[in-house]
């Protein structure tokens, strides 16, 4: 390729990819710089690790880290665990399978905040669930289910929203397996379990890793579900970051933000590895 | 139990779960949005005793709903058009040229999807503060939306550019067509579904986006999601939240169904049927 071609391609990439790199690059740069005391909006900007040690010594931070990892991990695992058998089941078309697939994927079309509202509406103190449970005589009186302290509400919403996404990704990779390969395995005497272990599992692993990682990052950084239906005695990392920021404490917000990015990165790598270990039986 | 029986049992089970999952909550939302304040919907009644569109009219006249609709529905098309213009050159390069590092460039285009939205929102607002642009809210949201949703735009348009047939371009050139005429006859027909899909997907994403609109927009700019968020928070009035939920969800479902059709026609196997 000539120099002229390179300049042409570079110029073409500028408005799209170039702007992406500038925006995301400066966002990450500002976050890191602010976490070390630079870009102060008030007072002087100077290098300091004080914000890191200050935030890390606070109980609210370590609780938020643990809580966010809990939400991220279980949202990813539960969504994928539910979606995987469904994807395999829907691999071969049968009467009604397309309609079923569409029905299962419908929550993809529903905004997270709307989902949160629907959920609150159903579980509220005098909501449908409480009514039903009292009606059939299981509960003597209505129970307070909103903002439960185990964050089951958050997990339920995460799964509601992310299971269809996982199903979409996994359906793609499950349907990519050709019948020839499965038939050949059957002819060679492989039973259903062996066909799953030796063919379906390895061939769908990358789709599964992708679904796990994307759901993990999204749920780890959750703000809306946490602030609407989450436990009130705990904060997620994104919530903590926003609350620092709205108090004008940008440096602490930056420490939380950078930690969140690091956890997202490390957690994704670990999850991908874990997925491979589980699917292969042993790391290769 | 035979395989067929097991299968139909599973179907019945899934449909039941999906009904509990979807139909009941939505029916509840619709009913709640119709509750007339004249008589409250108490626990002992199966249906609201008095139903009317009072809440809808009231929300329209007395809340920020009108402003939220105006800002959401003016932010989204602006971001969609800007996003399309920004994505076109990059997609052209990725779809029509074979250069070293193309795969890396494609991968880097996905960056906005990996960084958590609240991190982008907060530190983008820090950047705006540093630049003294923190009062430029509308422009900042449009700018951020059009760049954050570029990954979708670039991906879709790259596939469309790959679908343009070289023999059509060559034929047009051989017949003496100017660059503009070549674009119109050879590129545009193959790009059309991709362009519509791009506009639509950025539009939908922008309408639904919450983090940027919440952090950068507040307090001046209210969008439908930020309004719904505040309706779910301290001033939770169930019928109002129901109205907002339906306003947010119903148009988007239709738009997404159109999008799905467009994406199917943007598919390589189907759109190159001409040649």
What tens digit of pLDDT does each residue of A117-153 get?
Answer: 999 888 887 778 888 888 888 888 888 888 888 899 9
Domains, chain A, with CATH or none: 58-280 (1.10.3720.10)
Q: Give which of B210, B109, B184, B222 is closest to A222, Cα–Cα.
A: B210
Q: Where are the beta strands (DSSP E) in chain A?
A: none
Q: Can you tell me the mean pLDDT for B98-112?
A: 93
What are A93's two structure tokens?
A: 């078309």
Write the burial class of residue A138 (CB in 10 Å: 0-12 exposed, 13-18 middle, 19+ buried). exposed
Our CA-based measurement puts residue B175 at a distance from the nearest CA of chain A, in whole angstroms, of 25
Greatest Cα pair distance, chain B, in angstroms, is 78
pLDDT 10s digits, B198-210: 999 999 999 999 9
CA A76 to CA B15: how far, in whole Å? 23
Chain B touched by A122 (CB under 8 Å): yes
**Taking a C-beta distance cutoff of 8 angstroms, is the pair B136, A282 a contact?**
no
Chain B touched by A243 (CB under 8 Å): no
CA A216 to CA A219: how far, in whole Å? 5
Which DSSP category does B266 fall into? T
pLDDT score of B274: 36
Chain B touched by A98 (CB under 8 Å): no
Q: Where are the domains of chain B?
A: 64-271
Our CA-based measurement puts residue A71 at a distance from the nearest CA of chain B, in whole angstroms, of 15
pLDDT score of A279: 81
pLDDT score of A34: 93
Partner residue opposite B89 with nearest CB, options A12, A119, A131:
A12
CA B34 to CA B21: how far, in whole Å? 21
pLDDT score of B47: 81
Q: Can you tell me the mean pLDDT for B28-37?
A: 88
Q: Can you tell me the mean pLDDT for B136-163?
A: 94
For the whole model, what pTM was predicted? Answer: 0.88
Contacts of B29 in chain A (CB under 8 A): 117-118, 121
Contact criterion met (CB < 8 Å) for A20 and B248: no
pLDDT > 80? residue B275: no
Neighbours of A241 (CB within 10 A): 30
B35 forms beta bridges with B51
Chain A touched by B7 (CB under 8 Å): yes
**H or E stretch at B133:** none
Residues 46-85 of A with CB under 8 A from B: none
Chain B touched by A271 (CB under 8 Å): no
Contact criterion met (CB < 8 Å) for A238 and B248: no
CA A264 to CA A82: how far, in whole Å? 23
Interhelix angle A237-246/A250-280, nearest 10 degrees: 170
Residues 163-222 of B with CB under 8 A from A: 208, 210-211, 215
Q: Is B136 helix (H, G, I), strand (E, B) or coil?
A: coil
Contact criterion met (CB < 8 Å) for B248 and A111: yes
B16 forms beta bridges with none
**H or E stretch at B178:** none
For chain A, list residues with pLDDT below 70. 281-284
Chain A touched by B77 (CB under 8 Å): no
Partner residue opposite A221 with nearest CB, options B7, B109, B118:
B118
Q: Is B53 helix (H, G, I), strand (E, B) or coil?
A: coil
Dihedrals phi, psi of B79, to nearest 5 degrees: -65, -35
> What is the percentage of chain B residues whose pLDDT exceeds 70?
95
pLDDT 10s digits, B238-272: 888 999 999 999 888 888 888 888 877 765 444 33
Q: Give which of B211, B40, B13, B233 is closest to B112, Cα–Cα.
A: B211
What are B107's two structure tokens?
A: 């991968």
ipTM: 0.87
pLDDT score of B267: 56
Our CA-based measurement puts residue A187 at a distance from the nearest CA of chain B, in whole angstroms, of 20
B64-271 to CATH, choices 1.10.287.130, 1.10.3720.10, 3.40.50.300, 3.30.360.10:
1.10.3720.10
What are B81's two structure tokens?
A: 């058009």
Question: What one-character-per-residue DSSP string does B94-149 give?
Answer: HHH---TTHHHHHHHTTHHHHS-HHHHHHHHHHHHHHHT-TT-HHHHHHHHHHHHT
Chain B touched by A109 (CB under 8 Å): yes
pLDDT score of A128: 80
């Amino acid at each position: 390729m000539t120099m002229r071609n390179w300049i042409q391609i570079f110029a073409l990439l500028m408005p799209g990819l170039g702007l992406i790199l500038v925006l995301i690059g400066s966002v990450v740069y500002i976050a890191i710089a602010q976490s070390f005391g630079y870009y102060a909006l008030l007072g002087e900007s100077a290098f300091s690790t004080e914000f890191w040690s200050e935030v890390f010594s606070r109980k609210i931070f370590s609780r938020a880290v643990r809580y966010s990892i809990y939400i991220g991990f279980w949202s990813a695992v539960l969504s994928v665990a539910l979606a995987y058998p469904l994807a395999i089941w829907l691999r071969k078309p049968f009467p009604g399978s397309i309609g079923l697939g569409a029905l299962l994927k419908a929550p993809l079309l529903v905004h997270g905040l709307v989902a949160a509202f629907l959920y609150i509406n159903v579980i509220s103190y005098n909501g449908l669930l409480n009514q039903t449970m009292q009606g059939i005589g299981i509960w003597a009186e209505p129970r307070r289910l909103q903002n439960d302290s185990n964050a089951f509400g958050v997990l339920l919403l995460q799964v509601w929203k992310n299971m269809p996404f996982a199903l979409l990704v996994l359906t793609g990779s499950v349907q990519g397996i050709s019948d020839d390969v499965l038939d050949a395995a059957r002819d060679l005497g492989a039973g259903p379990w062996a066909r799953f272990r030796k063919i379906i599992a390895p061939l769908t692993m990358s789709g599964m890793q992708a679904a796990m990682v994307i759901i993990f990052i999204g749920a780890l950084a959750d703000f809306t579900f946490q602030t609407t239906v989450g436990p009130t005695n705990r904060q997620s990392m994104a919530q903590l970051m926003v609350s620092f920021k709205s108090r004008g404490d940008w440096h602490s917000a930056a420490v939380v933000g950078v930690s969140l990015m690091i956890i997202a990165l490390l957690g994704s790598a670990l999850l991908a590895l874990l997925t491979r270990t589980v699917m292969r039986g042993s790391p290769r | 139990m035979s395989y067929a029986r097991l299968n139909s049992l599973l179907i019945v089970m899934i449909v039941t779960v999906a009904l509990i999952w979807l139909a009941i909550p939505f029916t509840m939302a619709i009913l709640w949005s119709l509750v007339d304040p004249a008589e409250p919907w108490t626990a002992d009644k199966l249906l609201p005793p008095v139903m009317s569109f009072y809440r809808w009219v009231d929300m329209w006249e007395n809340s920020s709903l009108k402003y939220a609709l105006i800002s959401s529905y003016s932010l989204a098309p602006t971001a969609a058009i800007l996003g399309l213009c920004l994505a076109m050159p990059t997609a052209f390069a990725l779809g029509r040229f074979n250069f070293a590092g193309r795969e890396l460039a494609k991968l880097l285009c996905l960056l906005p999807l990996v960084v958590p939205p609240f991190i982008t929102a907060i530190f983008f607002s820090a950047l705006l503060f540093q630049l003294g642009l923190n009062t430029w809210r509308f422009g900042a949201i449009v700018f951020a939306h059009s760049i954050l949703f570029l990954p979708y735009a670039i991906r879709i348009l790259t596939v469309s550019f790959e679908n343009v047939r070289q023999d059509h371009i060559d034929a047009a050139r051989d017949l003496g067509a100017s660059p503009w005429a070549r674009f119109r006859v050879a590129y545009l027909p193959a790009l059309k579904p991709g362009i519509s899909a791009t506009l639509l997907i950025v539009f939908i994403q922008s309408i639904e986006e919450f983090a940027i609109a919440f952090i950068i927009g507040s307090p001046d700019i209210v969008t439908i999601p930020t309004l719904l968020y505040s309706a779910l928070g301290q001033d939770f009035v169930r019928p109002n939240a129901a109205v907002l939920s339906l306003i947010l969800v119903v148009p988007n479902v239709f738009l997404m169904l159109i999008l799905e059709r467009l994406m199917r026609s943007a598919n390589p196997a189907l759109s190159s049927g001409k040649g």
